[in-house]
Structure 1
Amino acid sequence: MSAPHAPGSGAHLVARSVRVQIDGTEILSGVDLDVRAGEVVALVGPNGAGKSTLLATLAGDIAPTCGTVELDGRPVHDWAVRALARERAVLLQKQGLAFGFHVEDVVRMGRAPWHRTPRQDADDEVVTAALLRADVASLAERLFPTLSGGEQARASFARILAQETPVLLLDEPTAALDIRHQEALLTACRELADTGCAVVVVLHDLTLAAAYSHRICLLASGRVRADGPPATVLTAALLSEVYEHPVEVLDHPHGPVVVPVRHDHLSAAPRSLRAEEVS
């Protein structure tokens, strides 16, 4: 699958002084964020921090109350719908398919923006590659509603891979996945960034965010508390403050490992599970 932009070619998405108010409640307040070609940016933060709202605002699905969001130098709301769909793909937390489409048909929906263009000729090849990359080729003939939550998430990821856009916006794509598929999905994100794509991914698992993102944007109460490399953002002091729970941050060759501090009675294994008593 192709990527129209080379790594490091500049910022795809630029948010400046973004404020979003919904039903009288301020969800985002003065958010600045640049998302550049060739990088994975993880949005992290506690529940209600504004992560999904920021992602939707970057996508153009929510109009900011104040401030601007630009995609390749143009206000995101100035883009025509089809043109926008050729530039950015969005994976939502919840899958909204109400009908019993086969998985292959769901993935093929990602090709819709390229209908009646020269790139339509590659539809079959691209869909096949996306099914394989998301590990759902064996599910191609299954009806989407019959899949498990994790299988649906992988099929939906395959759909946005098939869309072949230079910007991918993913909202908690790993939430329903097992360890193997979490690693595979985020590896695919890094590989796409290596080809020049810009990837923004909302994650709750801070250790996964540290391992796979180039930058982490930490949100709290609708504001950016920190934005930078994982080792800079993921400090015990800052995370303990933002999440209102004590954490430790351990050094690991693949990046920081974030561990919540637990009560003493949870730190010792039950007698029946203690290693020294297992023969």
Structure 2
Amino acid sequence: MTALAARGVGVLIEGTPILDGVDVTVRPGELLALVGPNGAGKSTLLGVLSGDVAPSSGSVELGGRALARHAARDLARLRAVQLQKQGLAFGFRVQDVVRMGRSPWHRTPQADDDDRAVASAMDRAEVTELAERLFPTLSGGEQARSSFARLLAQETPVLLLDEPTAALDIRHQEALLEVLRRTVRAGAAAVVVLHDLSLAAAYADRVCVLAEGRVRADGPPADVLTGDLLSEVYGHPVDVVEHAGRLVVVPVRARSLEEAPCPR
């Protein structure tokens, strides 16, 4: 069973192709990581999968039904989205921000579960102690964790996250992805944009490598994250090594500053 699928997706913006013939799927119980260099089309693809960006060609299905055929309220009950940039400028308290994730369930039987869902999400995202803080006063990392809690509180079968670890320290990066993985193991499907390839290798069931708007590889981390492919895609030499049973992606650096090429 496929939870979310894009077939032949293309996106043109002002005549420039951002995505070209992209096929990608994610199934329940699976975490898919989208990786690739800046400008590869990762965030655009996530926007297409969420329904926030209309493709110029191709199609997207959510739960076996065309994404465009889902009403907005139904869509919000099927997929939750955490954007890279937090768009809240008003002085909402963190607990109110997290509770916003429950809005799709207003006036449904699930609304009776709001308090439990919010408390559980805040605990799992480690923001309970921030409950009374105003969202705009938080650090970037605290805002990211609060937004993650809002996504969890929504309790949808599909989760879409755009660089959720970018502002987090090492402990919170690991904690967030561990919670996401547990949520997936419980039956959800997740697509997450990541820049840290070692995190993608550790937590993703599948990795999709994008470059210049196209899929260059899609499969298990051990099959996809190879030194040759990553060096080509990123335009920089990369080594992939195994440490404690995990793949670690390491950029090849000059041994000394004297060996490094002069900037131009």
TM-score range, shorter chain: over 0.9
Q: CA deviation at 1:50?
A: 0.2
Unaligned segments of structure 1, at least 5 residues: 1-9, 269-279
Equivalent position of 1:277 in the other structure: none
1:211/1:254 contact within 8 Å kept: no
Equivalent position of 1:56 in the other structure: 47
Equivalent position of 2:104 in the other structure: 113
Equivalent position of 1:263 in the other structure: 254
Aligned match for 2:201, one of 198, 207, 210: 210
Equivalent position of 1:183 in the other structure: 174
Aligned match for 2:155, one of 161, 164, 169: 164
Aligned match for 2:29, one of 33, 38, 42: 38
TM-score (norm 2): 0.96
* 2:190 match: secondary structure: strand
Q: Once the two structures are superposed, what CA deviation does each residue of 1:93-121 show, in whole Å capped at 9, x if it has no partner?
A: 00001210000000000000000000100
Q: CA deviation at 1:266?
A: 5.3
1:16/1:68 contact within 8 Å kept: yes
Q: Once the two structures are superposed, what CA deviation does each residue of 1:35-80 show, in whole Å capped at 9, x if it has no partner?
A: 1110100000000000000000000111110000000111111100
Q: CA deviation at 1:189?
A: 0.9
* 1:256 match: secondary structure: strand
* 1:47 match: secondary structure: coil
Amino acid at match of 2:91: G
* 2:113 match: secondary structure: helix
- Distance, in Å, in 1 between the alignment partners of 2:125 and 2:93 is 15
* 2:133 match: secondary structure: coil
Equivalent position of 1:253 in the other structure: 244
* 1:175 match: secondary structure: coil
Amino acid at match of 2:83: L
- Distance, in Å, in 2 between the alignment partners of 1:106 and 1:264 is 47
* 1:42 match: secondary structure: strand
Q: Does 1:11 align with 2:8?
A: no
- Distance, in Å, in 2 between the alignment partners of 1:256 and 1:135 is 27
Amino acid at match of 1:178: D
Amino acid at match of 1:160: L
1:230/1:255 contact within 8 Å kept: no
Equivalent position of 2:87 in the other structure: 96
Compute the RMSD of aligned alpha carbons.
1.2
TM-score (norm 1): 0.91
Aligned match for 1:123, one of 114, 132, 144: 114
1:70/1:76 contact within 8 Å kept: yes
Q: CA deviation at 1:264?
A: 1.7
* 2:161 match: secondary structure: strand
Q: Once the two structures are superposed, what CA deviation does each residue of 1:127-159 show, in whole Å capped at 9, x if it has no partner?
A: 011111100000000000000000000000000
1:12/1:198 contact within 8 Å kept: yes
Aligned match for 1:192, one of 169, 177, 183: 183
Q: CA deviation at 1:259?
A: 0.4
* 1:37 match: secondary structure: coil
How many residues are matched? 259
* 1:84 match: secondary structure: helix
Largest Rg, 1 or 2: 1
- Distance, in Å, in 2 between the alignment partners of 1:65 and 1:253 is 44
Equivalent position of 2:262 in the other structure: none
* 1:96 match: secondary structure: coil
- Distance, in Å, in 1 between the alignment partners of 2:232 and 2:212 is 12
